[in-house]
Structure 1
C-alpha cells in the first residue's frame, strides 16, 4: 500500500507530513517508556523483519497480491509507540533506498501504514485480551483479529485522504469499494503472518511480547493451609540495579540471532518467489484510473537499490537477493540505533541527580 508521488496533491501531502511528524514525535517520547532491556534490542529486529516480510507479496485474487503492513505485529511485540517508529523506519528506508513509496508521499504513507494500522490494531488487541481467557492462546487469537482489521482500516484511511486530496476525478465510492474489498483479503494474510510470528515468540520467550505482559497467571502452592504464589522463574535474581540475568541475556541473544537469520533468508532468498502481481493499491489505482498523475520517484535513477535490485547485476535472483540482504542490514542497524538511543535517554533521565557535597 505504498502511495507513490502524484496520487495526493501537495497541500494534503504536506498536511499528512505534519500529522506524521507529530505522531513520530509523540511516539519518540512514548517509546522511551516502553523500551527496556528486552524491547530495545528486539525493536530494531522487528523493523528488519517487517522490511523482509514486506518483500513477500502473496496472491489474494486474480492478478492482485498483498504484503504485510506490520503495524499490528510491531505494536503487539514491542508496544504501540515503538511500533509506530518501527514501521516508520521501514518506510523511510524503502522510500530513500528502494524508491518504494513517494518521498513527497512519505507523510501519507507513515500516517496510513504506521499510525493507523498500529493504533487501530493495538486498541482492538487490548480490548480482546481483556475479555478473553488469560492464556497465551488468547494473545495469538487477539493478534489475528487485530491484524485482520488493521488492513481494511488503512484502506479506509487512504480513501479518506484521497477524497480530500486525490489528483484525479474518480468517484470516491468506487475507490472505497475497491480498496476495502481487496484489503479485507489482504488482511487475512496479514493476520496469519502476525499470529504465527507472535505465537512463535510467545512459545520461546513470552516475556518478550509486550502485549502479553501481565497476562500470565502465577501458579500457587498450598503451604500450611494457605495458597501462596510460586517463585517467578523469569524474575531476575538479586543483582545490581539495572542488571539483566545472564541466562535471560543468553536466551534473548538466541531469539535475536534467530530472528535476524530468518529475516535475511526471507529477504535474500524467499523473496525471489514472491508474487509479481501488483499489490492492492496498485491494482485499484490502475483499474480505477487514480494513477493517471503518478510521478517518477526522485531516487529511481540515482539509488543503486531502486526497485529492490542492485544495479549492474544482471542476474535477477542475485540482484534481488542482495538488495534484500542489504535492506535488512540497513534497517536493523538504523532501527537498533534509534531504539538504543531512546533506551539510553530513558536510563539517563531515570538516574538520580547527584547532590552537592554536604547536602
Structure 2
C-alpha cells in the first residue's frame, strides 16, 4: 500500500488511522503527522531504517531510539497550515472517515484539523472507513468516489480524561475572576482546563472557538452556561465515548480545518477572545516555553501561539497562561528559560496565573513584570528569583 520514500500525511488525536500506522512506519515512508504524545503512539521498533518522521510534537521515545529518523517541526498549527497549503508536498493523505451515507458522503467525524487540506493537496487519498467514526452534523465530508483507495476498519477512537487536582482547582478559580462577560474562549486539555470547565458552569453566555474540545463543553451545555444559539467551533473533539455519542446530536458544534480555526484573520474578528493556555516554564520577562522540560523536548507549540497573539490583540480579550508554580520542587517561574526557547513572546502574554495568584503584565515595564511574576512563584523559590541577575 505504501512505497518507500513517499511522503505520507496522517492526523492524530481521534483521527488517527490506527490500522495503517505501523504499515506505513515499516514501509520506509516519510511520515508527516500531528500525532499527540500520550494519545497517539509512534512505535520506534516498527520503523524501518529508511523511515523518516516529521511531527509537530516531540515524541521522546522515538527521539531516543531513532534520533536520526525523527524531525520535530517547532511551528504553530497556523504556520503549518500555510506550509501544508503552499510549499509542503504530500504524496499520500490517509484520512479516517465514517462509512458513506446513502449519498456517498463520508464524514471526517471528530477530527478535521489538517485532514481536509492534506486530502485536497495530496496526489493520492486513502480513506480508512472506520465503523466507529461518528457522523457529526457539523463536520465536513468527502465523497467516497474521490478516494483513491479504501480500507475498512472497526477501531475504537481514543478516549481522553484527566481529573483535576487541588492545585488545578485553585488556579482555575483565579482564572475565572478575569474572564469578561460574553467571552469567546479557547482552552486546551489537561488538569487546569478541566478544572476551569467545571468552574465555568457558573457563568453564562459562553462561546468556544478552540483547537480542541472535550467532555467539558457537554457539561457546560447541561449547566446552561453556553450562549443560546451560538456556534462553537473547533478542529477536533477528544474525550469519552459518551462525548462522541453526544456530539452526533449537536449541530451547534462545528468542526473545521486549522486553516479556519487558527486563522489570524478569523480570530482577529472576535471581541473578548480569551485564550487560556499552559506552559512548562515562564521567565521573569513573561516569555513562555511550552515545549521543553528537564532539558529535553517533550511537546510542541501546538495552536497556542496563534490564539495567544489574537487574544492579546482582541478588544476586551486576554491571553492567559495558567500553570502550577512548581513541579517536583523545581520552580516553573524562572529567571531565564532553561532551553532558551520562547514558544510565546512576552508581548503575547497578558496574565500569568499560578495557585499563588495572578500577575497581570499589561502595561508593566520590565522591572514591574519581574516583581509581579516573582510574587506568584512558590514562596520557597522567591528569594532565589529575586537574587537572580
TM-score when normalising by structure 1: 0.24
Higher strand share: 2
TM-score (norm 2): 0.22
| Structure of greater relative contact order (alpha carbons < 8 Å, 6+ residues apart) | 1
More helix per residue: 1 or 2?
A: 1
